[in-house]
Structure 1
């Protein structure tokens, strides 16, 4: 690629690829993470939390799809907020998305290590997590079509495996087990559960976290105005069914308290039904890795595109906007996110705070980024409806303004309650934001000298026009 050539990504993904990315980004949330919510709210309280969060995500995706089809840009939420609110809005949404996508992979990598540790007790889960980074950063570097095809393949396997899990444990399921010893040790739902419902929000969000990342592949998708809506709607419906099915069946096979603070709840739930020596259990561990790998691999793709887009626009150093001339992948961006993720895996003393586990705190940090991004995206939707009524919108949010208002309101409630219950993690989140803002504040020259970008140029022209 010559110095004067605008860095571009290759359009090669089909609608099926995009569905695979949308579901694959999230599907690890069915394998681990959510069970930490049981420790906060019990099974019944967390079921209420999940219903509320599922409603938030469903209304959010139907609204977010309007932005994705109108502005098919690798920056995703960064691009929408830039278009609506200018550079500062772009910075807030872009960095929040970066926090979400950079901190989600180390949590998933630790779960991969935990699953492997079930089969190989002598294997250090952290070293296995680092190995996962090395392998799947390499696969992402190899090319987007190869990466997306692999993502689709392992996502389908992961879905099949979750269905098998539900079928195998069904004989051991009972509602009495699921409802036993709820919040405060009671046998059924009590008033004390309400605080737990709010405390469990990050772990219900983990069921659906990162589905919006498929927007970052829109710039690499064939005919995104038609394929994106289909992929997103099919994706959210798939995930809602799997989330409720997995959680309910796992919680009803025995003592759910034993599953509430571990990284591998599904193998342990199946063990309670079929025993330690069953072939079904070994199948779950091995095929279950595909679910974790699907999300891990897909989110690496997502964070690399976000770093690429921010760098191309001058919000990060320009070296991260370079695209390999052969594979057309942002190699430096892929490696940069991996370095941060691996550092997080070994940052026990920094991230294992507030009495929670390392994985739980990494999950919470990622969710803080996601919620801020959701708020910015829905605000951008309302702003663009008012400021650019003539913008081509191949897909319009249904029941506007009700759906985006529900998503925005619930995201604000989620953010406030998460701050209340996770003050130390939020403090670290604010520190990271402050450091990023200092970089943004003193690097205006990077944005002035950034590669031409039609989206940003249009926003800049409109900003100057309003100023005049």
Structure 2
């Protein structure tokens, strides 16, 4: 029996594009196996192991940040198990947009997609600042002379095609991983309990040396703990470029989040544990600061770890550009965003979907507001998580007969857990920065206004996510029509 029909598709008007429409919008297929997808997932995040998490130490204390890390790890494991199932149902470049669109129709699908675009574009801006910080620590050079070449070179390589991008990303991630292992090996033996508890104890409810900001510190630590996992959920965006998306995407997702959790725990033990939580509460290069404090500025490995950090941050930059360009490509191909953004070049790269959001990210990097950028990134990310987890629950309840080559362990209990924790993280972002959260919400509203006034009347029926939905609803309408 066909799934019960819904009326969401009636909120949009479809157009039949020219025969060569999709021909000009083809990605380079079959390039990535599950190992490369796992590396892609790690690369999305690895910059967050080198920087960003440390901004949470003064707000949360080490104990608050560590507890927040454990809770957010639970959220990300549940999230990736649920996304792995969704990715096998809809293995397209639409990712979160495709999942929410399938469950709730074009409006919420579009909102999920735009939230993901915000997340990855803003994260690119933040990662560029972390790159500048580590580059300046190594060479003494910072500013536009670092940022401009970074953006230009990265955009050029992405426009040149997926094969070159993923190969370079693999090399950079390997260098970064080696650097992290060396850092942990040289720092962890110097761990002292007093170092992680060296922040002054406040008079907040529940405040102790372990929780200097009290129970509030756990709450405040959520966004910065998320920084150590943020964007791993972007692996399904590579579904159309995977060798076997039904098998490779779930394996890549789960492997990536497992490795990231292990690294996050070890970094949080080794850096503050050796250098002190109070010493690392600010700055864009906490691992360099920690290593230099313990081993001195002339230790030969200091330069190796700095180069590894630059490699890891560059890998994250690469991966984030890949992610936002694929989400923009998918939304544009389906008509939600201007269609010219999804045109691909002769190397099958969506070059305008790379360049235009990249220019926005560059402008945001000039604000130097890395800590505020993190808040907006997490605001956008957790909004998309809420929509994707709700989509998983809705499809389990309303469409139990869908073919699911991979099934989430624990079923909807797993996605409900991720939904609740994502909701808490979303609320934290709003409470920590009402103004910046309002700015993010206002920007989302502007994009929704564009959808309601224009793009919902010009969706493309042949786009993969839309074609799947129109065929499904047509079959359901036919089955339920009077005979």
Whether TM exceeds 0.5 here: the answer is yes
Alignment match, 2:367: 347
- Normalised TM-score (structure 2): 0.91
Alignment match, 1:353: none
Alignment match, 2:298: 277
RMSD of Structure 2 on Structure 1 (CA):
1.9
1:130, distance to aligned residue in structure 2 (A): 2.8
1:335, distance to aligned residue in structure 2 (A): 0.2
Gaps of 5+ in 2: 1-17
- For residues 106 and 72 of structure 1, do their structure 2 counterparts lie closer, same or farther at Cα, with a shift above 3 Å needed? same
Question: Which among 301, 304, 308 is matched to residue 329 of structure 2?
Answer: 308
The answer (yes or no) to whether the contact 1:216–1:302 under 8 Å persists in 2 is: yes
- For residues 401 and 124 of structure 1, do their structure 2 counterparts lie closer, same or farther at Cα, with a shift above 3 Å needed? same
Q: Which secondary structure does the structure 2 equivalent of 1:431 belong to?
A: helix
The answer (yes or no) to whether the contact 2:223–2:428 under 8 Å persists in 1 is: no
Alignment match, 1:44: 63
Deviates more, 1:452-461 or 1:147-156: 452-461
Alignment match, 2:444: 433
Alignment match, 2:462: 452
Partner Cα separation in structure 2 for residue 230 and residue 454 of structure 1: 23
1:451, distance to aligned residue in structure 2 (A): 6.0
Alignment match, 2:26: 8
- For residues 362 and 22 of structure 1, do their structure 2 counterparts lie closer, same or farther at Cα, with a shift above 3 Å needed? same
1:53, distance to aligned residue in structure 2 (A): 0.7
Partner Cα separation in structure 2 for residue 194 and residue 327 of structure 1: 52
The answer (yes or no) to whether the contact 1:166–1:245 under 8 Å persists in 2 is: yes
Partner Cα separation in structure 2 for residue 256 and residue 160 of structure 1: 24
The answer (yes or no) to whether the contact 1:23–1:211 under 8 Å persists in 2 is: yes
Question: Which among 223, 239, 243 is matched to residue 218 of structure 1?
Answer: 239
The answer (yes or no) to whether the contact 1:312–1:451 under 8 Å persists in 2 is: no
Q: Which secondary structure does the structure 2 equivalent of 1:253 belong to?
A: helix
Alignment match, 2:422: 411
Partner Cα separation in structure 1 for residue 266 and residue 433 of structure 2: 28
Superposed CA offset, 1:208-245 (max 9, x none): 00001111001110111111121111111100000010
Alignment match, 1:397: 408
Partner Cα separation in structure 2 for residue 219 and residue 318 of structure 1: 19
- Normalised TM-score (structure 1): 0.93
Partner Cα separation in structure 2 for residue 97 and residue 375 of structure 1: 12
Gaps of 5+ in 1: 349-357
- For residues 183 and 296 of structure 1, do their structure 2 counterparts lie closer, same or farther at Cα, with a shift above 3 Å needed? farther
Alignment match, 2:397: 386
The answer (yes or no) to whether the contact 1:44–1:182 under 8 Å persists in 2 is: no
Superposed CA offset, 1:357-414 (max 9, x none): x101111111111100100001101111122222221111001122111001111111
Alignment match, 2:265: 244
Partner Cα separation in structure 1 for residue 464 and residue 358 of structure 2: 29
Partner Cα separation in structure 2 for residue 245 and residue 412 of structure 1: 27
1:257, distance to aligned residue in structure 2 (A): 1.3
Aligned length: 456
Q: Which secondary structure does the structure 2 equivalent of 1:390 belong to?
A: coil
